[in-house]
Structure 1
Amino acid sequence: MSPLIFFASAPRNMGSLVAEELIKLGMRDATETRGGARFSGTLEDAYRACLWSRVANRILLPLTQSTVSGPDELYEAAREIHWEDHLTPESTFAIQFDGTLSGINHKHFAVLRVKDAIADRFAERFGRRPSVDPDDPDLRIHVFGHQDTAGISIDLSGQSLHLRGYREEGSAAPLKENLAAALLLRAGWPEIAAEGGALLDPMCGSGTLVIEGALIAADIAPGYMRQRFGFQGWSQHDEPTWQRLRDEARIRRDAGLGRLGSLRGYDLSSEAVRVSLHNLERAGLAGLAHFERRELTDCRPGRPEDEGLLIVNPPYGERLGDKGELPELYGRLGSVLKERFVGWRASIFTADPELGKCMGLRAQRMHSLYNGPIECRLLHFKVEPRYFVSNQPRPLPLEERSPGAKMLANRINKNLKALRKWQRDEDVSCLRVYDADLPEYALAVDIYEGEKRWVHVQEYAAPANVDPKRARHRLREALGLIPEVLEVPGEQVHFKVRRPQKGSSQYERLAETRHFHQVSEGGHRFLVNFEDYLDTGLFLDHRDVRRLIGTLAPGKRFLNLFGYTGTASVYAAKAGAVSTTTVDMSRTYLEWAASNLMLNKIQGEEHELVQADCLRWLDMMNGRRRFDLIFLDPPSFSTSKRMFGTLDIQRDHVGLIQSAMRLLEPGGDLIFSNNLRRFRIDLAGLSPLRVADISAETLPRDFARNPRIHNCWRIRRPES
């Protein structure tokens, strides 16, 4: 028997989550589509999806999909369906219509024409027709319209799957159960729960997040408490299969209840706590989670040793809360997290990401989801001091600073004085003024001059043998004196921790402020961002590499591989390159590159931006494109899922360079650069290419204290 095709409808922006969920349930071919996910399988698979999907709204069995231009064609399409295979004349049914259809102005009219088609087919064949029962039908039929296409399906779920059966009452503006489950899944709660982590919601409302968290942690099927599904009144229902799945779910539930850890919900409202406890009891989880009335300022872990996930849907001014009071509320939430939940993960669901900035924490990532019609963001945080915003950790006051701090101040001043004439003569406005010159203060300090002066401070991750408390103390000293020495307000100092790159970590977004600032370099203008990524968008150590490219570029066709924010392309274009092609896998970086090009009045189709995996693009372009000048500046490591393969620059550089050289015209130049400090170029593997090490001559004066900051070679074909 060939597999059946099913469709799992889902709330907006949750189709990929449903597809992932179905794959884990055994539906290996589940694929995200508009409005949900499509999958194939047996009737048992559909029953399993109804019982176990935490995110889907409905599980539909499509019967037909037809092109219709009006109500009569919809009627004919519906009448052609063998309804006698799904209903009896004694059955009742209801029809739900979603979407829009060309030629049909009212949903009720579409429902009426499908109802007439079913009734007429039964009357013609049996002389009797089933009845309509909109409230409690034996079978629900779903019609979906999009432009001139109508799909008609059996609704196997019946009522929406978000209705688990445990919630009778809700507090104001409650989250739907499947949205709450989606937030927990996106926040990584299943993995945290499996490791014994705690769950806490400090504004729990009707308790939905905590209860859904308990269902996930205890491996309880979300549909286990429902009294009825749509397929149970369907003529083809397989009761033995359904009972077997129910028995399996009961066994898993009984085993899982013993694994529950600490689950807590707090709320300012006594009524909300009462509703939460009632819903917990209806879910069969009485006594297995804790709810109590508690102010946000009194929020703390249940036990001092607890760590896990704090997740909250605070008011955001759309339904609850005075918008004028919300910044202060989010500020208090951030303070509570930083004071009492260090080591935890936190996820905040809000319709106003700007409010998230009031928390004083840098978001690691975010997801876009909808709460009904309201577009919201789920912001994810690691509650660790290194992710506290620029004024964190708090600087030490002057009287608490050590003699070492004075040495640091003296060294920065000494470096500034030594660089002053060079900086003026070379017209350098963005430069490095300190780079771990004193081992006790393992920082890199960069100045960026634009409409204001900004300072970008990066702490190198300390070795394991360094006492974290002493390192923390020295960091606070440094962050207290750097604004004074460099004469900038504290809010213009941005702090990050730089760790060795692993996998795709060099691309990890730290936040999404989209705060860009304009700076200049060598007569060019660039946009930098100090908050959203580890790097700012302008590699200062490549300043002289960019100048070299500008020197070589006039009249050349320039290719910028792993092009990042397009700064090298700007240099080439402004110097007179006849064309530039910038290739990068990141749409964000290419949009940034486009802004940099526009900022420098570089326009025209000859300046091309290509979103692609550079490895795959080089294979595709072999023999099809030629360039006179190529800049190849790959990351040290990359394991992005969008890549053709993984990239380890030490392992793969020979093949990568050879692939790029196949696109280089005779007599052309390839500039190859990377920042892997232990990198060793394989000259034998690159033979007979002419490889000249230009690392020293492309090392800017302000980086001379750390000559291994980058590697650079000029590569040409051998002369014939």
Structure 2
Amino acid sequence: MSDRFELYLTCPKGLEGLLAEEARGLGLEEVREHTSAIRGSADMETAYRLCLWSRLGNRVLLVLKRFNMKNADDLYDGVHEVEWQDHLEASGSLAVEFSGHGSGIDNTHFGALKVKDAIVDKLRTRDGERPSVDKLNPDLRVHLRLDRGEAILSLDLSGHSLHQRGYRLQQGAAPLKENLAAAVLIRAGWPRIAAEGGALADPMCGVGTFLVEAAMIAADIAPNLKRERWGFSAWLGHVPALWRKLHDEAQARAQAGLARPPLWIRGYEADPRLIQPGRNNVERAGLSDWVKIYQGEVGSFEPRPDQNQKGLVICNPPYGERLGDEASLLYLYQNLGERLRQSCLNWEAAVFTGAPDLGKRMGIRSHKQYAFWNGALPCKLLLIKVQPDQFVTGERRQPERDAQGNEDQRSPAAVASEPARLSEGGQMFANRLQKNLKQLGKWAKREQVSCYRLYDADMPEYALAIDLYQDWVHVQEYAAPRSIDPEKAQARLFDALAAIPQALGIDQSRVVVKRRERQSGTRQYERQSTQGQFLEVSEGGVKLLVNLTDYLDTGLFLDHRPMRMRIQREAAGKRFLNLFCYTATASVHAAKGGARSTTSVDLSRTYLDWARRNLSLNGFSDKNRLEQGDVMAWLQACRDEFDLIFIDPPTFSNSKRMEGVFDVQRDHVELLDLAVARLAPGGVLYFSNNFRKFQLDERLAERYAVEEISAQTLDPDFARNTKIHRAWRIQAR
């Protein structure tokens, strides 16, 4: 074989330039960049060195041959011509990876099969012995890449991908690959900072990938020093003496690096389930003296008590996976920015994010940004110098001056402690919230209302509904029309979310965000989360349980407060029926008002259990019946009489537990006829729904006494949204 080879090094998309720079430093010559790969010329020693020392590559491929092909026969012939006896014993094993298509190869499996057949046929002995296929741990891993009619046939010297260092046997939900983490560290300037004796802290360290990669860089440890099996281990062209020399040199460098005083490298993780896996990874890497992991929230993160120590804060904040994650992520970034300003003055920071718009919310300018890919997700690396002149805080645009014209001489720490400045739109939104709070707060206090709607898309560009539940804020984002630029809609949402805690004086952890879209069937009742946290609130002398996180709705329809209070006033001594009862809040009010009995009907066992808890919370377990069933079928079978009935049906329902489909516009006449038939003489039925286009059938007024009372069932908090529902009072003639 030749003394020099063409090498291909593959890497994650976006790392090509960094990998080319690294490979040149390791001896690769004539380097050229390709998509997710580089290539160059090298001798065997350099090939080994790249396998051992590349922190950024995935695979090191040694090119055996390039040839043109027009069809599958050309593929077979080109591979068969290689002297495979120089590379693999007939008794050995191989695996073939094929990429690309064209020239009659439309299927990578078929292409790999043709390559395998050519190799096996070349090595088959007279007695029929031939190499076997072993996809997991073959003696030889062959790669063929088909590119516009040219076949590039290579040996994979690395074996398993080089990013698999071997220390990370335990990982979190969405970890960075090790070579991507190393690339981020290099872009962030960590090799320079480490050489100067600087520190490193990761306030959201997960299972410690940044920490371990940083320690290996600082201690001069080859990233794949501990790998035992390579793609060249059983290759007949392998030169063991040369490999041992390079490996021994790397071992000596690692021992020398670890013998030096360790740098201060610390990680903090809020999730207690990740602490031990992270520590286990550090221990497997042999870096327990260098790296420490502690449990801690971003909001309480302190990089190091020694104020003279400077270094790098690096992190990869979590990506939102559920609707409503916008709030927690926004506040996470805000908290991160606050901690950087207050505790990391004159440090450098690197934030690797899949949501760069959130990065703008930290209150610190980034002086440089790099584009990366985390798998298929485009990401940005934001590089920040944590210095006061980079802070975006307060309302100041220019330095403040005193009466004598001198610039503000406050300390950097005082400047750092200012809250992040709201954008112009965010400040406008905050002003509206404070205005509403001042107006509605007086009414709520006077009427002893602890839960009410504070804002309901008052300003069209901020399409949110904001409800106060005592000292919690429940935010519903209405889906923006398709005509609205999604980036602008998201920016406005972030402006609003940033304004809410400041305007209302409520801790960020007590803001819950959901996205409300057009609902079909029972989707609005489907579980959104599984936190199971219930909050006890009060209304009209009763106690009710709400859940702000797990469902789209909270268990309490605030717009029906006046209707519930009306029912409480009229219920004394009456038999009350609550159809489509949901969590039976109206039944609790009826019981509070002295109802002789209450019957509540709903199809959902979940909500009936919730209803049972509401009744029990108020001591109303007796004489209050809960019935699970399809309301229409239940009414058809019912023979009881009731003095007071409340019906608030969904617009549309197609639950699997009911026959057919319920449509309030189509079916309300039948529903009301069945319900009125159950009214005792002189009884009253209240009917409401929130279908904006609903029209009550005119024929009902011919049979019953019908009075629309919609305006009487709206409190001041819904005065701006008079179409939130419509309501009628109905009696038999």
The CA deviation at 1:77 is: 1.8
For the 8 Å contact 2:90–2:125, the answer to whether it is kept is no
The CA deviation at 1:178 is: 0.5
Give the aligned partner of residue 402 of structure 1. 402
Q: Which amino acid aligns with 1:278?
A: N
The CA deviation at 1:264 is: 0.4
Q: Percent identity?
A: 44
**3-state SS of paired residue (2:46):** helix
Q: Taking structure 1 as reference, are residues 128 and 334 closer, same or farther at Cα in structure 2, changes over 3 Å only?
A: same
Superposed CA deviations along residues 20-56 of structure 1, whole A, max 9, x for unmatched, are 1112223343332333221222111100000000000
The CA deviation at 1:287 is: 2.9
What is the TM-score normalised by the length of structure 2?
0.54
**3-state SS of paired residue (1:336):** helix
CA distance in 1, matches of 2:227, 2:305: 34
Q: Taking structure 1 as reference, are residues 472 and 164 closer, same or farther at Cα in structure 2, changes over 3 Å only?
A: closer
Give the aligned partner of residue 296 of structure 1. 298
Q: Taking structure 1 as reference, are residues 475 and 216 closer, same or farther at Cα in structure 2, changes over 3 Å only?
A: closer
1:205 aligns with 2:206: yes
Partner of residue 286 from structure 2, selected from 284, 287, 292: 284
Give the aligned partner of residue 357 of structure 1. 360
Unaligned runs of 5+ in 1: 406-439, 442-467, 480-487, 493-720
Give the aligned partner of residue 246 of structure 1. 247
Partner of residue 339 from structure 1, selected from 333, 338, 342: 342
Q: Taking structure 1 as reference, are residues 319 and 172 closer, same or farther at Cα in structure 2, changes over 3 Å only?
A: farther
Unaligned runs of 5+ in 2: 419-423, 429-733
Partner of residue 388 from structure 1, selected from 371, 388, 391: 391
Query: For 1:12-411, what aligned pairs fall within 5 Å after superposition?
Result: 12-123=13-124, 127-257=128-258, 258-305=260-307, 306-317=309-320, 322-389=325-392, 391=394, 402-405=402-405
The CA deviation at 1:84 is: 1.2
For the 8 Å contact 1:217–1:259, the answer to whether it is kept is no
Query: For 1:506-521, what aligned pairs fall within 5 Å after superposition?
Result: none
For the 8 Å contact 2:182–2:214, the answer to whether it is kept is yes
CA distance in 1, matches of 2:395, 2:384: 15
Q: Taking structure 1 as reference, are residues 473 and 19 closer, same or farther at Cα in structure 2, changes over 3 Å only?
A: closer
For the 8 Å contact 1:166–1:225, the answer to whether it is kept is no
Q: Which amino acid aligns with 1:283?
A: A
Q: Which amino acid aligns with 1:110?
A: G
For the 8 Å contact 1:16–1:36, the answer to whether it is kept is no
CA distance in 1, matches of 2:335, 2:265: 22
**3-state SS of paired residue (1:30):** strand
Q: Which amino acid aligns with 2:62?
A: L
Q: Taking structure 1 as reference, are residues 237 and 473 closer, same or farther at Cα in structure 2, changes over 3 Å only?
A: closer
Q: Which amino acid aligns with 2:282?
A: L
**3-state SS of paired residue (2:319):** coil
The CA deviation at 1:89 is: 0.3
CA distance in 2, matches of 1:198, 1:475: 24
The CA deviation at 1:126 is: 7.7
How many residue pairs align between the two structures? Answer: 421
Give the aligned partner of residue 708 of structure 1. none
Q: Which amino acid aligns with 1:116?
A: D
Q: Taking structure 1 as reference, are residues 89 and 490 closer, same or farther at Cα in structure 2, changes over 3 Å only?
A: closer
For the 8 Å contact 2:5–2:63, the answer to whether it is kept is no
**3-state SS of paired residue (2:365):** coil
For the 8 Å contact 2:5–2:44, the answer to whether it is kept is yes
CA distance in 2, matches of 1:358, 1:72: 59
CA distance in 1, matches of 2:107, 2:120: 20
The CA deviation at 1:489 is: 10
More off after superposition, 349-358 vs 92-101: 92-101
Superposed CA deviations along residues 430-455 of structure 1, whole A, max 9, x for unmatched, are xxxxxxxxxx55xxxxxxxxxxxxxx
The CA deviation at 1:491 is: 8.2
Q: Which amino acid aligns with 1:331?
A: Q
CA distance in 2, matches of 1:241, 1:90: 25
Q: Which amino acid aligns with 1:200?
A: A
The CA deviation at 1:68 is: 2.7
Query: For 1:383-462, what aligned pairs fall within 5 Å after superposition?
Result: 383-389=386-392, 391=394, 402-405=402-405, 440=406
Q: Which amino acid aligns with 1:377?
A: K
CA distance in 1, matches of 2:141, 2:127: 21
**3-state SS of paired residue (2:30):** coil
Superposed CA deviations along residues 397-437 of structure 1, whole A, max 9, x for unmatched, are 9xxx63224xxxxxxxxxxxxxxxxxxxxxxxxxxxxxxxx
Query: For 1:595-610, what aligned pairs fall within 5 Å after superposition?
Result: none
For the 8 Å contact 2:167–2:285, the answer to whether it is kept is yes
Q: Taking structure 1 as reference, are residues 155 and 372 closer, same or farther at Cα in structure 2, changes over 3 Å only?
A: same
The CA deviation at 1:288 is: 2.0
Superposed CA deviations along residues 126-165 of structure 1, whole A, max 9, x for unmatched, are 8431111111111111122234332110000000000111
CA distance in 1, matches of 2:333, 2:368: 18
For the 8 Å contact 2:207–2:275, the answer to whether it is kept is yes
CA distance in 1, matches of 2:338, 2:168: 32
Q: CA RMSD in A?
A: 3.0
CA distance in 2, matches of 1:350, 1:389: 19
The CA deviation at 1:169 is: 1.0
The CA deviation at 1:260 is: 2.6
CA distance in 2, matches of 1:190, 1:320: 38
For the 8 Å contact 2:262–2:289, the answer to whether it is kept is no
Q: Which amino acid aligns with 1:376?
A: C
**3-state SS of paired residue (2:236):** coil
The CA deviation at 1:337 is: 0.8
For the 8 Å contact 1:218–1:259, the answer to whether it is kept is no
For the 8 Å contact 1:8–1:57, the answer to whether it is kept is yes
More off after superposition, 69-78 vs 370-379: 69-78
CA distance in 1, matches of 2:187, 2:413: 35
Q: Any runs of at least 4 consecutive aligned residues in structure 1 with deviations exceeding 6 A, and if so which?
A: 392-397, 470-476, 488-492
**3-state SS of paired residue (2:290):** coil
The CA deviation at 1:473 is: 12
What is the TM-score normalised by the length of structure 1?
0.55
CA distance in 2, matches of 1:226, 1:473: 47
**3-state SS of paired residue (1:212):** helix
For the 8 Å contact 1:315–1:321, the answer to whether it is kept is no
Q: Taking structure 1 as reference, are residues 335 and 74 closer, same or farther at Cα in structure 2, changes over 3 Å only?
A: same
Q: Taking structure 1 as reference, are residues 40 and 376 closer, same or farther at Cα in structure 2, changes over 3 Å only?
A: same
Q: Which amino acid aligns with 1:248?
A: E
Q: Taking structure 1 as reference, are residues 475 and 112 closer, same or farther at Cα in structure 2, changes over 3 Å only?
A: closer
CA distance in 2, matches of 1:474, 1:225: 48
CA distance in 2, matches of 1:121, 1:13: 39
Superposed CA deviations along residues 545-595 of structure 1, whole A, max 9, x for unmatched, are xxxxxxxxxxxxxxxxxxxxxxxxxxxxxxxxxxxxxxxxxxxxxxxxxxx
Q: Taking structure 1 as reference, are residues 321 and 333 closer, same or farther at Cα in structure 2, changes over 3 Å only?
A: farther
Superposed CA deviations along residues 260-279 of structure 1, whole A, max 9, x for unmatched, are 31000110111211111000
More off after superposition, 368-377 vs 23-32: 23-32
Q: Which has the larger Rg?
A: 2
The CA deviation at 1:390 is: 6.6
